[in-house]
Chains A and B, each alone.
Chain A
């Protein structure tokens, strides 16, 4: 069973308390964007074997959305962080680098 710590209320939540919200750090394009941009935003998804960033909601708790960094092959959690950010904070990147040197995810990576 997957356990994530909610970065707002500090509770260690088991996954039955949470709702998965899909890929994190999407740019939400609005009206006037071209077809390519909309396709990227609405349908195309990162689906990595390894490091992944995603949104979760502490739905049976404080109700807030947060972000988590997790491995899809080992289910190891590298950390959770608040939703009010456009990229993963340094400490999360460091935690990933310690396990997966040279990782990259979309335009984020070890060197970024």
Chain B
């Protein structure tokens, strides 16, 4: 792997840029691997990366049915934050956020992490109380957030109308080291680092069945032949239900569509991320100048990667009141992703009833921010059999009533 650096750019400039390698290899699958990761999105690649980097396991294949990062990794609104209420979530998301801080250096790949600050607006008295509570909880968890008043909100984001008749801004929960990152680059950076460790990244390889013997996973059948493994990680987000069915267990998950849209590019006007949960909308400005807007989920199961238009209408209607200047903006693109939502809105990182098979799913509407932390924790779980970060996120928590209720922090906006 050629190291990316300012020197490398200068060197290549002198030889017509002919020396750049492909960022990752596309090998033919081997007969078997120590570990197979099903799903080549951010979480799957991060899991593979940390298996190699933290635990020295490099005989790994990542199987992806489409192309890398073609699912929700490339469909989210790239927000990174860790201001969750419950201790297990705060630990996992804060681990993740802290890994983002040094990710570009660790991967030698610019993921454009921009800790520009995230504010979650309180627009009702209930939200004021809820967010003050979260700020106190975060203080105890060691996550730096603060409650700010409406005046400070206006200073941080001057384009906002804080006196709206229906949704006045009463204050906000502010996390200064939260922000955004380039989502495709996260997947590509991990893929490049995995490939450099000798791992196989196999695209257009769809898993069609899971084989097992005496209750232990032995491999997968795919459209590119059978591949054996000693351990397997299922990291496929919206399609977890289908994979779990192959492995012979059910999940407390339903897959629904979540939508987002971007406007035409405009000059820089907003250097923070604003989330407004009361009106189910959130907005930030990308480096290209587009306003990136996320909306709510549909209420019914859907695998089509497109959602209902009336949700877009609701989101935009509410945002226009909060940001009057966007009323004349044209919208460029709108898209949907299939998100896997659990009953308590927290993810599942767990062993499964099938020995050697682990699952990482249920991130619902907020998986992107958790990519590195999820990979770190999942790798530890797969290598050692348990991880302090994943202990609370087991499949059995539903049966035992130990929910990690994040429906307030994660219910809609991400």
Q: Mark B320-340, 1 if CB is under 8 A from A, else 0.
A: 000000000000000000000
Query: Does A85 make an interface contact (CB < 8 A)?
Result: no
Residues of A within 8 A of B253 (CB): 45, 47
Q: How far is the CA of A15 from the CA of B239 in the complex (A)?
A: 24
Q: Are A74 and B304 in contact (CB under 8 A)?
A: yes
CB contacts under 8 Å to A, within B298-315, are 298-304, 308-310
CB contacts under 8 Å to B, within A1-29, are 1-2, 15-16, 19-20, 22-23
**Closest partner residue, chain A, to B400 (CB atom):** A35
Query: Does B55 make an interface contact (CB < 8 A)?
Result: no
Q: Are A44 and B310 in contact (CB under 8 A)?
A: no
Query: Does A54 make an interface contact (CB < 8 A)?
Result: yes
Residues of B within 8 A of A49 (CB): 239, 241-242, 303
Q: Are B303 and A72 in contact (CB under 8 A)?
A: yes
Query: Does B289 make an interface contact (CB < 8 A)?
Result: no
Residues of A within 8 A of B254 (CB): 22-23, 45, 47
Q: Mark B253-280, 1 if CB is under 8 A from A, else 0.
A: 1110000000000000000000000000
Q: How far is the CA of A74 from the CA of B398 in the complex (A)?
A: 31
Q: How far is the CB of A23 from chain B (nearest CB, A)?
A: 8
Query: Does B384 make an interface contact (CB < 8 A)?
Result: no
Residues of B within 8 A of A16 (CB): 310
CB contacts under 8 Å to A, within B270-296, are none
Q: How far is the CA of A47 from the CA of B343 in the complex (A)?
A: 13
Query: Does B31 make an interface contact (CB < 8 A)?
Result: no
Q: How far is the CB of A6 from chain B (nearest CB, A)?
A: 16
Q: Mark A30-42, 1 if CB is under 8 A from B, else 0.
A: 0000011011001
Q: How far is the CB of A16 from chain B (nearest CB, A)?
A: 5
Q: How far is the CB of B199 from chain A (nearest CB, A)?
A: 29
Out of B301, B308, B343, which one reaches A15, CB within 8 Å? B308
Residues of B within 8 A of A36 (CB): 399
Q: How far is the CB of A107 from chain B (nearest CB, A)?
A: 13
Q: Are A39 and B300 in contact (CB under 8 A)?
A: no
Tier of interface size on chain A: 20 to 34
Q: Are B299 and A20 in contact (CB under 8 A)?
A: yes
Query: Does A75 make an interface contact (CB < 8 A)?
Result: yes
Query: Does A90 make an interface contact (CB < 8 A)?
Result: no
Query: Does B252 make an interface contact (CB < 8 A)?
Result: yes
Q: Are B302 and A72 in contact (CB under 8 A)?
A: yes
CB contacts under 8 Å to A, within B227-246, are 239, 241-242
Out of A22, A38, A54, A73, which one reaches B303, CB within 8 Å? A73
Q: Are B302 and A75 in contact (CB under 8 A)?
A: yes
Q: How far is the CB of A21 from chain B (nearest CB, A)?
A: 8
**Closest partner residue, chain A, to B343 (CB atom):** A43
Query: Does A67 make an interface contact (CB < 8 A)?
Result: no
Q: Are A1 and B308 in contact (CB under 8 A)?
A: yes
Query: Does A89 make an interface contact (CB < 8 A)?
Result: no
Known: A15-B308, A47-B251, A72-B303. A39 touches B398 (CB 8 A): yes
Residues of A within 8 A of B303 (CB): 49, 72-73
Q: How far is the CA of A26 from the CA of B33 in the complex (A)?
A: 41
Residues of B within 8 A of A73 (CB): 303-304
**Closest partner residue, chain A, to B340 (CB atom):** A47
Residues of A within 8 A of B298 (CB): 20
Q: Are B310 and A15 in contact (CB under 8 A)?
A: yes
Q: How far is the CB of A60 from chain B (nearest CB, A)?
A: 12
Q: How far is the CA of A47 from the CA of B241 in the complex (A)?
A: 6
Q: How far is the CB of A31 from chain B (nearest CB, A)?
A: 15
Q: How far is the CB of B201 from chain A (nearest CB, A)?
A: 25
**Closest partner residue, chain B, to A56 (CB atom):** B300
Q: How far is the CA of A35 from the CA of B303 in the complex (A)?
A: 31
Q: Which of A15, A52, A72, A75 has the most CB of B within 10 A?
A: A72
Q: Are A35 and B252 in contact (CB under 8 A)?
A: no
Q: Are A52 and B301 in contact (CB under 8 A)?
A: yes
Out of A2, A19, A43, A45, which one reaches B308, CB within 8 Å? A2
Residues of B within 8 A of A1 (CB): 308-310
Q: Are B398 and A42 in contact (CB under 8 A)?
A: yes
Apart from A45-B251, A47-B301, what 13 extra A-B contacts exist at CB < 8 Å?
A: A1-B308, A23-B254, A39-B398, A43-B343, A44-B250, A44-B251, A44-B252, A47-B251, A49-B242, A52-B301, A54-B301, A73-B303, A74-B304
7 A-B contacts (beta carbon < 8 Å): A16-B310, A20-B298, A20-B299, A38-B399, A54-B300, A72-B304, A73-B304
A-B interface, 3 closest residue pairs, ranked by CB to CB distance from nearest: A47-B241, A20-B299, A43-B252
